[in-house]
Amino acid sequence: MTPQVEIMLIAVIVSAACALLGVFLILRKMAMMTDAISHTILLGIVIGFFITESLTSPLLIIGAALIGLLTVYLAELLKRTKLMSEDSSIGLVFPFLFSIAIILITRYAGNIHLDVDSVLLGELAFVPFDRLILFGRDVGPKSLYVMGIILTIDLAFILLFYKELKLATFDAALAAVIGFSPVLMHYALMGLVSVTAVGAFEAVGSILVIAFMIGPPITAYMLTDKLKTMLVLSVVIGTFNALLGYQVAVIYDVSIAGSIATVIGITYLIVFITAPKRGIITMVYKRHMQRIDYAMHSLLVHLYNHEGTEEEEVEANRHVIDQHLHWQKSFLDKIMKKALRLQCIVVEQEFLKLTSKGREYAIRSFEDI
């Protein structure tokens, strides 16, 4: 396996592991918590290093996971006081724990490979150099196996507790009544987020971890309302972003992590504009059609109110009705064309008359008002 293939494979595995958990974070409206956890777990890594004096010890992952859970607990503890909102509590806990880690690194670990730049930005290009040697044989990059195991754990957790996760995500109160523990599910999910983030730390850095956990899931959310489809789409989009971002980085000789994060942003922007149900173009078109529909019903109600009255000759005259409704002439013509096409009105000489269908529309609209 060439180093290029190894890099792409690791990027795909990291994206899949992050995207699967990111779906539940997005649905729980906890995107900001990802940012907090991905930074504060640095404190767990630092404390684990001080205890073991090794950057390869599994205790670093355990320490990072515990600090991740501590981040969630402290943020929710502050939120429960009702003295601050959720984002304010995260904004307070996140820099506090992260700053402690930075101080410890600069004060006591300045001579080891634990600098802030490598933690935040990572570097996929260096991943093939950190090899796993078993029985004297090179079996591949260490990150490939670490993230492969973490992806397997994440996938197994979602498959085994899919119903519990789904229920706890959409209706925590009902989950508690049925007998599930939404709190246990919540902290189990946050624990996996912490483990996944620390596993991906060395390979891709925390910035790309955040991008993978938020970008593909929120892009998939623009395309579907079904949880299973959203999970699959998130992995597919994450894989596409990882592979395309790597190719762009190779072509333009730029940072791989930065290139992938940029592709993630561009992909979301494209979907945000063009998504069939929730895209900007669709929303603008729907609002335009709603405006046309509302205007047509207003015209029908206007004609119905003056039908058979002395003012009908003035209020229903096609040449002056735009002045009574305070519309532009071109807009009135557009509304009239639609009403004529739907056979709601007819034009008799210079006057607009309701058909039976138009009268039914007007009465129904009037009752709705």
223 phi/psi in degrees, rounded to 5:
-105, -15
Residue 338 burial (CB count, 10 A): 16
Whole-number Å distance between alpha carbons of 355 and 341: 12
Two tokens, residue 193: 């987020």
Two tokens, residue 241: 């972003």
Two tokens, residue 147: 């993230």
The answer to whether the CB of 224 falls within 8 A of the CB of 175 is no
Instruction: Check residue 317 and give its pLDDT.
Output: 85
Q: Which residues pair with 354 in a beta bridge?
A: 345
316: helix, coil or strand? coil
Instruction: Check residue 43 and give its pLDDT.
Output: 87
Q: Per-residue b/e over 92-113, b at no fewer than 16 CB within 10 Å?
A: ebbeebbebbbebbeeebeeee
**CA dist 335 → 196, 283, 290, 330 (Å):** 56, 20, 12, 9
> Which amino acid makes up residue 213?
M
Instruction: Check residue 111 and give its pLDDT.
Output: 64
Return the HEC string of 140-203. Answer: EEHHHHHHHHHHHHHHHHHHHCHHHHHHHHHCHHHHHHHCCCHHHHHHHHHHHHHHHHHHHHHH
Low-confidence ranges of the chain (pLDDT < 70): 109-122, 369
Instruction: Check residue 114 and give its pLDDT.
Output: 58
Which residue, 151, 274, 277, 137, is CA-closest to 203? 151
The answer to whether the CB of 342 falls within 8 A of the CB of 359 is no
**CA dist 344 → 74, 184, 300, 336, 350 (Å):** 62, 59, 8, 9, 16
Q: Following CA atoms 120, 124, 130, 132 in sequence, which dihedral angle do they give, to the nearest 10 degrees?
A: 110
Model confidence, pTM: 0.81
Whole-number Å distance between alpha carbons of 20 and 4: 25
The answer to whether the CB of 259 falls within 8 A of the CB of 236 is no
Instruction: Check residue 212 and give its pLDDT.
Output: 92
Whole-number Å distance between alpha carbons of 262 and 359: 55
351-354 and 345-348 as β-strands: parallel, antiparallel, unpaired? antiparallel
Two tokens, residue 244: 């395309």
The answer to whether the CB of 19 falls within 8 A of the CB of 216 is yes
Which residue, 243, 237, 212, 204, is CA-closest to 4? 243
The CB-side HSE value for 159 (13 A sphere, CA atoms) comes to: 7
